[in-house]
Structure 1
Amino acid sequence: MFKLHPGRCANSHFFRSHLPCRRTLFGLPDLSSLSPFVNADSNPEPQKYHERKILPYNRRQLYEVVANVESYPLFVPFCTGSRILHSSRGDRTKPTTMDAELSVGFLVYQESYVSKVTCKPYEFVQADASSSSPLFKTLTTLWQFQPVPATSPRHGGIPSNDATDEHASPSLVSLDLTYAFASPLHASISAAFFGQVSKLMVRAFEERCLAVYGPGRE
């Protein structure tokens, strides 16, 4: 996300269901054409959520967790599968891009969609769902990593390393999640549920960092 799984940072346009009959992510048929409360011509506005947190790891460590797309099923909420379809490796001046197929599951239902993932070491990882996905009109997750300023109380009065040093810790991680369902009915059903996803993602990310790197260093 989602993505919001990183192999090493991934525009294909397809969507497929793993069920014998087509269902939505929430296990409901598309009833928008039957509902008297949903205007088929309505255009749901994208919902936006922002989370940020200081973690006791350096930018490189944080970046490498998110850039490892193939590991997403291990920690990203509701992500059940991830595979890289195509990748173009970059360098410190040119971002790496990937096309990644991500699978999301809810209860007994599962759907897959393709995202273009852009990774710039050690600054950000952004994933944009293909515009052809019938589930999401828009789905973008943006993870950004910044060094904590030397003036921050988290440094305890100890001068920090150069702000450009990817090995300096702690670091500030921020997550911006933007989404809009293709169906107004789906948007209505998911309103309360999706509002918590960004918080779940940051919490899961923090737990993943702890599992990979240990307690970290303030």
Structure 2
Amino acid sequence: MPSFSNIQRVNHPARDMFSLVADVEKYPQFVPLCQALHVRGRKELGNGRSVLVADMTVAYKMFKETFTSRVELVPDEHKILVQYLDGPFRHLDNQWTFTDQGEGQCDVGFFIDYEFKSRALGTLMGAMFDKAFRKFSKAFEERADAIYGTQRI
């Protein structure tokens, strides 16, 4: 089963990076492979937590698939938990963490574990997904710089 994890230090505080990643409706503007994202519904859970259900369409050349996920936003812990609900995967587990490191910096942790239902699709898309995940950190950091400004230390 393919998985990918990365921790990237960025020059933005955890609260800002959490807000940026939590703003899923904006993903088509800057996230690699994300062609569309539609939030079906959103519910407040209390204690600042909320959950949303979203459809994300990923596209690359002739490949185009939509999958549905449950996204739990946990701002007091600077954590985002993504659970797969429906689509071309057998399973998908994704987690984001944001840990302040002082002086306006934080470590952004990204973990994803997935398996396509179809072995053929997995073979076809595996290398491309791995390459895209490696670009995710940079895409979010560049988006943060554009929104919050660069704060190079």
TM-score (normalizing by structure 2): 0.90
Are 1:77 and 2:32 an aligned pair?
A: yes
* TM-superposed deviation, 1:109: 4.3
How many residues are paired up?
152
1:180–1:187 contact (8 Å) kept in structure 2? yes
Query: Aligned pair in 2 of structure 1 residues 191, 85: CA closer, same or farther (>3 Å)?
Result: closer
> Where does residue 136 of structure 1 map in the other structure?
89
Which entry has the higher C-alpha Rg, 1 or 2? 1
Aligned residue for 1:210, secondary structure, equals helix
In structure 2, runs of 5+ residues without a counterpart are none
Alignment-derived partner of residue 27 in structure 1: none
CA deviations on 1:61-106 (whole Å, 9 max, x unpaired) are 0000000010010111111111211111245x35210011111111
CA-CA distance at 1:178 after TM superposition:
1.0
Aligned partners of 1:180 and 1:142: how far apart in 2?
16
CA distance in 1, matches of 2:143, 2:6: 17
RMSD: 1.7
Aligned 1:11-160 pairs, distance under 5 A: 46-91=1-46, 93=47, 95-122=49-76, 123-130=78-85, 132-133=86-87, 135-148=88-101, 160=102
Greater displacement, 102-111 / 205-214: 102-111
The TM-score with structure 1 as length reference comes to: 0.65
Match of 2:104 in 1: 169
> What is the letter of the counterpart of residue 95 of structure 1?
R
C-alpha distance in structure 2 between counterparts of 1:80 and 1:189, whole Å: 19
Secondary structure of the residue aligned to 1:57 is: coil
Paired residues for 1:173-192 under 5 Å: 173-192=108-127
Amino acid at match of 1:82: L
Shift of 1:111: 2.4
Which has a greater percent of helix? 2
Richer in strand (by share): 2
Residue aligned with 2:121, SS = helix
More deviation, 54-63/104-113: 104-113
* Residues 169 and 217 in structure 1, CA contact (< 8 A), matched pair in contact too: no
The Cα of 1:47 is off from its aligned counterpart by 1.2
What are the ranges of 5 or more consecutive residues in structure 1 without an aligned counterpart? 1-45, 149-159, 161-167
Q: In 2, Cα distance between the equivalents of 1:106 and 1:179?
A: 18
Tell me, what secondary structure is at the counterpart of 2:140?
Answer: helix
Percent pairwise identity = 24
Runs of 4 or more above 6 Å deviation: none
